[in-house]
């Protein structure tokens, strides 16, 4: 039986001012949260690499805020205006948006702009982070094994269970493993790389804050994985040289 006029679907009309205001408020809250929250909840930066990581997280979050807020604003609007109680007949769906060419063009265009910006930012951040790696002031051989770290300073006879680094100097780590895959991770410096058995993986960092930090293992490597830690000390350059000489 053909539907009568009373049975014909009625398109849902959107109250655009309410939706746009909700989107603007959520965007403002998301941007403010990204700018104020992330720098405080992320680990304390102790290298230029970690500073760049925190900045990248903030930039990416701010960039994503308008898109994410639009999704949530639409969700909240739908929950407010298009809900129905149990026993009520739900209203008919509105017309599909798949054939709306202007919406498709705008959405694809905005996505391309955001994606291109994030790609350029990422490439620039990688280039900035690796600029000093070509001329390290110090190389440290890092060896992981169940369940400890050892550090050797090439050109010396120094091998220790604690990692000591000079402040303000670029350090290259040659990382390997004697048994299974481990993860060499200095959280506050933004250094994280796998230690693979039979292979050497290289990563560089420039510590810019004196203090005490921790190397942890980021790969599940067996029973005592959680206890595979080693202290990291960052000293002024003259104190580091004195320490290194005292170990020989």
Per-residue pLDDT, 91: 64
User: pLDDT band at residue 3, thresholds of 50, 70 and 90?
Assistant: very low
C-beta pairs of 69-78 under 8 Å, 24+ apart in sequence? 69/23, 69/26, 69/27, 69/30, 70/23, 72/26, 73/19, 73/22, 73/23, 73/26, 74/19, 76/22, 77/14, 77/18, 77/19, 77/22
Closest listed residue to residue 25, CA positions, set 60, 78, 72: 72
Whether residue 9 is predicted with pLDDT greater than 80 in this model: the reply is no
Residue ranges in 13-135 assigned as alpha helix (H): 16-36, 38-41, 48-81, 101-129
What is the pLDDT of the chain when averaged over all its residues?
A: 84
> What one-character DSSP code corresponds to residue 206?
-
Which residues are CB-neighbours of 55 under 8 A, at least 6 positions away?
Answer: none
Q: CA 179 to CA 145: how far, in whole Å?
A: 6
Per-residue pLDDT, 132: 61
Strands across the sheet containing 182-186 = 163-166, 229-235, 211-217, 182-186, 191-195
Question: Taking a C-beta distance cutoff of 8 angstroms, is the pair 209, 167 a contact?
Answer: yes
User: pLDDT band at residue 107, thresholds of 50, 70 and 90?
Assistant: confident
Whether residue 98 is predicted with pLDDT greater than 70 in this model: the reply is no
244's tokens: 């290194």
Q: The whole model's pTM is what?
A: 0.73
Which residues are CB-neighbours of 126 under 8 A, at least 6 positions away?
Answer: none
120's tokens: 């350029």
Whether residue 199 is predicted with pLDDT greater than 70 in this model: the reply is yes
> What one-character DSSP code corresponds to residue 222?
S
If DSSP codes are grouped into helix, strand and coil, which group holds residue 18?
A: helix
Whether residue 6 is predicted with pLDDT greater than 50 in this model: the reply is no
User: pLDDT band at residue 8, thresholds of 50, 70 and 90?
Assistant: very low
Question: Taking a C-beta distance cutoff of 8 angstroms, is the pair 147, 221 a contact?
Answer: yes
Which residues are CB-neighbours of 26 under 8 A, at least 6 positions away?
Answer: 69, 72, 73
pLDDT in tens, 124-134: 877 776 666 66
Query: How much is the average pLDDT of 166-171?
Result: 89
User: pLDDT band at residue 213, thresholds of 50, 70 and 90?
Assistant: very high
Q: CA 231 to CA 148: how far, in whole Å?
A: 11
- Among 56-70, 81-95, 116-130, whose mean pLDDT is lowest? 81-95
């Amino acid at each position: 039986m053909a539907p009568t006029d009373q049975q014909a679907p009625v398109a849902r009309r959107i109250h655009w001012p309410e939706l746009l205001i909700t989107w603007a408020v959520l965007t403002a809250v998301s941007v403010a949260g990204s700018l104020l929250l992330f720098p405080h909840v992320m680990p304390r930066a102790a290298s230029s690499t970690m500073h760049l990581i925190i900045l990248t997280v903030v930039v990416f979050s701010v960039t994503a805020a308008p898109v994410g807020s639009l999704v949530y604003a639409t969700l909240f609007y739908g929950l407010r205006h298009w809900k129905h109680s149990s026993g009520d007949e739900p209203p008919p769906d509105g017309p599909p948006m798949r054939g709306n060419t202007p919406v498709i063009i705008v959405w694809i265009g905005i996505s391309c702009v955001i994606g291109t910006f994030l790609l350029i930012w990422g490439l620039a951040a990688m280039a900035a982070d690796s600029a000093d790696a070509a001329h390290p002031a110090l190389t440290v051989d890092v060896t992981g094994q169940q369940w400890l770290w050892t550090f050797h300073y090439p050109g010396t006879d120094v091998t220790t269970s604690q990692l000591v680094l000079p402040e303000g100097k670029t350090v290259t780590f040659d990382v390997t493993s004697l048994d299974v895959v481990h993860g060499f991770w200095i959280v506050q410096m933004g250094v994280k790389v796998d230690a693979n058995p039979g292979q050497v993986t290289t990563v560089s960092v420039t510590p810019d804050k004196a203090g005490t930090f921790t190397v942890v293992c980021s790969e599940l490597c067996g029973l005592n994985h959680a206890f595979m830690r080693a202290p990291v000390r960052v000293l002024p350059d003259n104190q580091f040289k004195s320490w290194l000489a005292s170990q020989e």
